[in-house]
Amino acid sequence: MKIQVTLHGHLPWYHPERASSLELELPEGGSLEELLAVLGVPRTEVALVVINDQRVGWDAVLSDGIKLEMFPVIAGGARPARYCQLCATEYVDEGSTCPYCGAPAEDLGEDGDEELATIFHAGDEDEAEMVRVLLEEAGVEVALEPYGVEGEPAGAEGWGLIKVIPAQRERGIEVLETYWDRMGEGPPGELD
Amino acid sequence: MQGGFWGKVLTVNLKSGDIGTREVPDELVKRFLGGGGIVAHWLLTGFDNGFVDPGDPLHPDQPLVVMTGLFVGTPLPTACKTTFGGKSPQTGIWNEAIVGGYFGQKLRAAGWDGIIITGRAEDPVYLWITPQGVELRPAEVYWGKDVYHTDEHLREATHPQAQTAVIGPAGENLVKIASIMIGGHEGRAAGRGGMGALMGSKHLKAIVVQGDQKVPVVDRPGMMAATKDVNARLKVEAVGLNRFGTAGLVQGNEASGDMPIHNFRHGRFVEGAATTCGQHILESAFVKNYGCFACAIQCGKVITIQSGTHQGEQSHSPEYETAAGFGSNCLNPDGNVVVEANDLCNRLGLDTISASGLVAFAMEAYERGIITRKDTGGQALEWGDGEAILSLVTAMAYRDHIGDLLAEGTRKAAQVLGQNAQEFAVQVKGLELAYHDPRAFPSMGINYATANRGGCHLEGLTYFVEGGAFPAAHISYAGPLDRFDPDVEAKTDLAVRMQNLMNVLNALGLCKFLIRGKVSPAEIAHWVTLVTGWELSGEEMLRIGARLHTLKRIYNVRNGISRKDDILPGRLLTHNRGGGAEGSFVHLGKMLSTYYRMRGWNQEGIPTEETIRELGLEAEAGLS
């Protein structure tokens, strides 16, 4: 079976090649203990194991195609980022509602691009970077999605997309508009 | 008591040169175990001889009390910690700077449980202690010299195996964040709260001890068996600390939002964490492991310095706090600068947490134009600039230009600078906050606000429980473990329970990392029985922890502390740092009210008469 493993924080340092994300071919039905042995990570250093975004116990059985994450102790109270879709400020428990605004919780997974909202089309990499800094300074988390291959010059359609979680879409657009208003010029790229 | 303490501490009056003995009665040990608790008792009861606190922490009459933990000198796992207690020159309230290494063990081996130092010597002196005698010797030739030099030369002048507690130029210059350094190059620090300045104000350059006596233990075979068992567990459970040291946590703490970035302003420092973490530093510089006395973990790392003035010399690798302080919090991604700054602090005798906090504070003041090149002797203070970091550290130790103000600590510096400097002064009760962001672990928020020495993380390591490193069941905590759970009652309860446990560990002379071995309070209480013969349960022991915490609070209340001071810096209460702690805040007001109720203090944070009587602290609180 094939599984995808992500080691968070300092856990990659235990792996012989220091890999933080890797695809492993293992015998069907393996245990977490067996996986740890392959990775070289001591069990006592792992606080939390997550399979397909669900927390699991040490007795979990591995199966083909799973996405597995490990978080380290002490720091490892860490868990996949969760935002309330409505007020965008709180982490909430799986399947529960946000304790502040009552909205149902939504997950922003590590590869949750499909759930993200595009707010800006960047003409080149510098522009994308500038917009990212602007947004992040305003507390808006940003995902950059280039059109082409990373490291290669942008094509005729420009560099790529700036995306944010849906709950921060309006805030993101407001930040950018305010900035260009203050600068007395229009946006260099295209606001979505 | 048949085992444990010798039952006596040394008394030294530096003004008169008088040297004497003070008894440590069994009754005191049963109430407070050892370490800081006994110090606080003596300070509050005036040493039974009419001592009246002169107020000013640097007044010559102000005592500096060195007190070992009850187990120090026995081979029990991690039994190495010694308290340097008294009134903090930096905060003006209770302080205990607790340090490992081999100093405490040597002091016990010289036949003493502690030292009470009062008065001010006319000229610089050092104290030389052996089982054969105690001597005050002139120290003019060491005055002005750094910690490493002084340590080496003092051991040459006394005994090659002697252990030293030394102040550097910072302590001599009464820098309020000066540390007392143990073991020279070994870089163990009684760091927090400026006890180096208290020692400097007494013109005491060093304490040097050598001895060969065995601490009395009731059941030695029982103790050896317990030691062997726990050491084996520690080797498995604490393997991460052994391999990478505390700075091995840098990347994990960055990811979880625990590690402060840009003076507690921002959320991520991914690439910088990869180049300032322990693993990265050790990869090119590792020489050997270092362990304190009686410790199987060996989390210390000796390295070779890779750059700068002392390139090629050996030094102690930076701890997590230092890597976070001079790394992410100053936006510095250069691990070599972290190593150099750490080494410089150890040489000059500065607390690395406070020193790096002050550097970040100064960099932000510079960014905002509150400090300019005119104040810094021409040095620009751009974020992440290694040269700026190193030059500020030196300037603080020698009180050069802006360093003179920074040497007073962040609270005072923000007051003097005015404008909106309070906005970014990250301190509690005058002590710079340690580098575990309470927005990442809100249970740490209530701990920071109520820790007796101020912005101290060590008084209540709740993130050990929430981060899966210590079983909640050991402290009978049944609440949610999700660090962001908004249950105020439960999270406050967790903080109270951990504060009680930490108070006990300090008093027994045990290291925090012992709990990485998942050792239970009942187990530790059994060690008390093995060492002293006194029957004690885990529950009773944690109750002593509660007594110790309120005892130190009483000292603080006497020095003007109340609810108004149990506060967190505005930035931490109101600013979303993002990253791994995105959108998380500490609900401090609610937590405080709950905390006071749980502690039996009134809603202004003053222990009630009922609580004082219940904990048996009438004498210390001045109740008849």
- The DSSP code sequence of B555-619 is HHHHTT--GGGS---HHHHH----GGGTT----HHHHHHHHHHHHTB-TTSPBPHHHHHHTT-HH
- pLDDT < 70: residue spans in chain B: none
Interface of B with A (CB under 8 A): 236-240, 244, 248-258, 277, 279, 440-441, 463-464, 466-469, 481-486, 576, 578, 580, 582-584
Among the partner residues A76, A93, A141, nearest to B252 by beta-carbon distance: A76
Contact A90 B239 (CB under 8 A): no
- Among candidate residues B524, B467, B508, the one with its CA nearest the CA of residue B240: B467
User: Looking at chain A, which residue has its C-alpha nearest residue B480?
Assistant: A93
* Pair of tokens at residue B207: 């304490």
Contact A76 B248 (CB under 8 A): no
Contact A71 B252 (CB under 8 A): yes
**Predicted pLDDT of residue B271:** 94
**Predicted pLDDT of residue B229:** 94
**Chain B residues with beta carbon closer than 8 angstroms to that of A10:** 240, 244, 248-252, 277, 279
**Predicted pLDDT of residue A112:** 40
Rounded to a whole number of angstroms, the distance from the CA of A63 to the nearest CA of chain B is 25
**Predicted pLDDT of residue B351:** 98
Among the partner residues B238, B255, B576, nearest to A75 by beta-carbon distance: B255
Average pLDDT over residues A103-129: 65
Taking the CA of residue B236 as centre, how many other CA atoms within 13 Å lie in the half-sphere pointing to its CB?
A: 8
d(CA B12, CA B435): 36
Phi, psi of A135 (to 5 degrees): -70, -45
Confidence of residue A124 (pLDDT cuts 50, 70, 90): confident
> Beta-strand (E) ranges in B73-155?
82-87, 94-99, 114-118, 125-130, 133-138
Residue type, B526: H
A6, A7, A8, A10: best to mutate for the B interface, most B CBs within 10 A: A10
**Chain A residues with beta carbon closer than 8 angstroms to that of B576:** 89, 139
Taking each helix axis as running N to C, give the angle between helix B147-157 and helix B335-348, from 0 to 180 degrees, rounded to the nearest 10.
50
**Chain A residues with beta carbon closer than 8 angstroms to that of B479:** none
Among the partner residues B255, B258, B481, nearest to A8 by beta-carbon distance: B255
Confidence of residue A109 (pLDDT cuts 50, 70, 90): very low
Q: Is the pLDDT reported for residue A106 higher than 50?
A: no
What does the buried/exposed string (b/e) look like for A45-58 if buried means 16 or more CB atoms within 10 Å of the residue's CB?
bbbbbbbeeeebee
User: Looking at chain A, which residue has its C-alpha nearest residue B465?
Assistant: A74
Write out pLDDT tens, residues A12-61.
Answer: 999 999 999 999 999 888 899 999 999 999 998 998 899 988 888 888 98
Rounded to a whole number of angstroms, the distance from the CA of A186 to the nearest CA of chain B is 28
d(CA B180, CA B199): 8
* Pair of tokens at residue B175: 């820098």
Which A positions 153-192 lie with beta carbon below 8 A of chain B?
A: none
Tell me if B533 sits within 8 A of B216, measured CB to CB.
no
Confidence of residue A113 (pLDDT cuts 50, 70, 90): very low
Tell me if B406 sits within 8 A of B351, measured CB to CB.
no
Tell me if A10 sits within 8 A of A70, measured CB to CB.
no
User: Looking at chain B, which residue has its C-alpha nearest residue A87?
Assistant: B583
Burial of residue B558 (number of CB atoms within 10 Å: 0-12, 13-18, 19+): middle
d(CA B582, CA A90): 7
- Across the A:B interface, residue pairs with CB atoms under 8 Å apart total 104
> Beta-strand (E) ranges in chain A?
2-7, 21-25, 46-51, 54-56, 67-72, 82-84, 105-107, 117-122, 143-146, 160-164, 190-191
A93 at interface of B, judged by CB pairs closer than 8 A: yes
Among the partner residues A9, A89, A90, nearest to B252 by beta-carbon distance: A9
Strand A67-72 with A46-51, pairing: antiparallel
**Predicted pLDDT of residue A150:** 54
User: What does DSSP assign to residue B491?
Assistant: H
d(CA B502, CA B515): 10
d(CA B433, CA B428): 7
Which A positions 2-41 lie with beta carbon below 8 A of chain B?
A: 8-11, 13
User: What does DSSP assign to residue B72?
Assistant: B
Please name the residue that has the structure tokens 């996986």: A35
Alpha carbon B477 to its chain's center: 25
Q: Which residue has the higher pLDDT, A152 or A41?
A: A41
User: Looking at chain A, which residue has its C-alpha nearest residue B579?
Assistant: A141
d(CA B192, CA B183): 17
Tell me if B36 sits within 8 A of B552, measured CB to CB.
yes
Alpha carbon distances (Å) from A143 to A22, B273, B347: 22, 20, 45
Contact B254 A9 (CB under 8 A): yes
Contact A74 B253 (CB under 8 A): yes
Contact B239 A136 (CB under 8 A): no
Confidence of residue A170 (pLDDT cuts 50, 70, 90): confident
Q: Is the pLDDT reported for residue A145 higher than 50?
A: yes
**Predicted pLDDT of residue B13:** 97
Contact A77 B250 (CB under 8 A): no
Contact B253 A75 (CB under 8 A): yes
**Alpha helices in B451-564, H assignment, sequence order:** 462-466, 488-508, 521-532, 538-558
User: Looking at chain B, which residue has its C-alpha nearest residue A47?
Assistant: B468
**Predicted pLDDT of residue A108:** 37
**Chain A residues with beta carbon closer than 8 angstroms to that of B582:** 81, 83, 89, 91, 141
**Chain B residues with beta carbon closer than 8 angstroms to that of A11:** 252
Alpha carbon distances (Å) from B63 to A127, B28, B39, B76: 62, 19, 10, 30
Contact A91 B277 (CB under 8 A): no
- Among candidate residues A9, A6, A135, the one with its CA nearest the CA of residue A77: A9
Among the partner residues A10, A44, A73, nearest to B251 by beta-carbon distance: A10
**Predicted pLDDT of residue A3:** 94
d(CA B453, CA B459): 9
d(CA B149, CA B146): 6
Among the partner residues B253, B254, B583, nearest to A90 by beta-carbon distance: B583
d(CA B199, CA B182): 13
What does the buried/exposed string (b/e) look like for B224-240 if buried means 16 or more CB atoms within 10 Å of the residue's CB?
eebbeebbebbeebbbb
Q: Across chain A, what does the average pLDDT equal?
A: 76
How large is the ipTM?
0.85
Q: Is the pLDDT reported for residue A87 higher than 60?
A: no
% of chain A exceeding 90 in pLDDT: 23
**Predicted pLDDT of residue A95:** 47
**Chain B residues with beta carbon closer than 8 angstroms to that of A140:** none
The whole model's pTM is what? Answer: 0.86
